[in-house]
Structure 1
Amino acid sequence: MSRYHDLKYRAVTTLQRRIANPITRRLPFHTLLETTGRTSGLPRRTPLGGRRIGNAFWLVSEYGEKSQYVRNIRANPRVRVRIRGRWHTGTAHLLPDDDSIARLRGLPRANSTAVRLVGTDLLTVRVDLED
């Protein structure tokens, strides 16, 4: 990773972790992804954008394998997703061969724009929902 991308990653993730995420986690209808912490075993909730299409929820991680929730998924793919205030259980799949830029075109515009602007290593994630 270039020095520019490293600085960008650190600045954006610090802003997200300390300011944006604590606020958006409390919004009742904001989409959340709940993973299990790979070390702690505790639930970890991450606000994010994406879209439900049929029985799958699609999202694009802006930092790919560096994202903590992606690392948690790799350790345990069982997740929950809160969509419009309702929790759904499912299994997450990391799709490195998917065209993440094309995928973003089918996801909510505001979030997709932000992911393209700040992301440095895009990775598509599909969650197969059980309910």
Structure 2
Amino acid sequence: MSKPSNAGNKAEKKYRAVTAFQRRLNAVTRRLPAQTLLETTGRTSGLPRRTPVGGRRVDDSFWLVSEFGERSQYVRNIRADARVRVRIRGRWHPGTAHLLPDDDPVARLRRLPRLNSAAVRAMGVGTGLLTVRVDLEG
């Protein structure tokens, strides 16, 4: 049996540290009225799951980049049920989420809010970034 590579080990440690930090931070930030939230349906529980996100509304779509790509819990929930809601400036918008593995997430981050984009690049592990587009209804 081969040992995991040092780079893979470092990436896993970073992932665990960042997700532990985000779990605590998200518990606070999801309560802030101005925070943008993505609400998915838990793939196992069926309960609403709210995650603070950064992104930008462009016409009838909301764009964001997941720093952990396929490993993000909200991405896994979207795979199970693409129906979501996004709270933007205190107002909820229903929509359908689309995972876009062929989109260039680094280029996409250049078009999203700077502070959030910097955080995604800093906290993201390896090359696991994934673009998500939510087509908003009404």
Distance in 2, matches of 1:114 and 1:60, equals 11
Residue 134 of structure 2 corresponds to 127
Of the three residues 84, 88, 102, the one matched with 1:83 is 88
Which moves more between the two structures, 32-41 or 112-121? 112-121
Q: Hey, which bits of structure 1, 4+ residues long, moved more than 3 A? A: none
Please identify the structure whose Cα radius of gyration is greater: 2
Distance in 1, matches of 2:89 and 2:14, equals 31
Distance in 2, matches of 1:119 and 1:22, equals 20
Of the three residues 15, 31, 40, the one matched with 1:9 is 15
Please give the TM-score of this superposition, normalised by the length of structure 2: 0.93
Distance in 2, matches of 1:91 and 1:29, equals 22
Correspondence 1:34-73 to 2 at 5 A: 34-73=39-78
Cα shift at 1:49: 0.2
Residue 32 of structure 1 corresponds to 37
Residue 3 of structure 2 corresponds to none
- Residues 6-62 of structure 1, C-alpha deviations (whole Å, 9 max, x = no match): 000000000111x21011010001000000000000000000100000000000000
Distance in 1, matches of 2:31 and 2:96, equals 24
Q: How many residues align?
A: 130
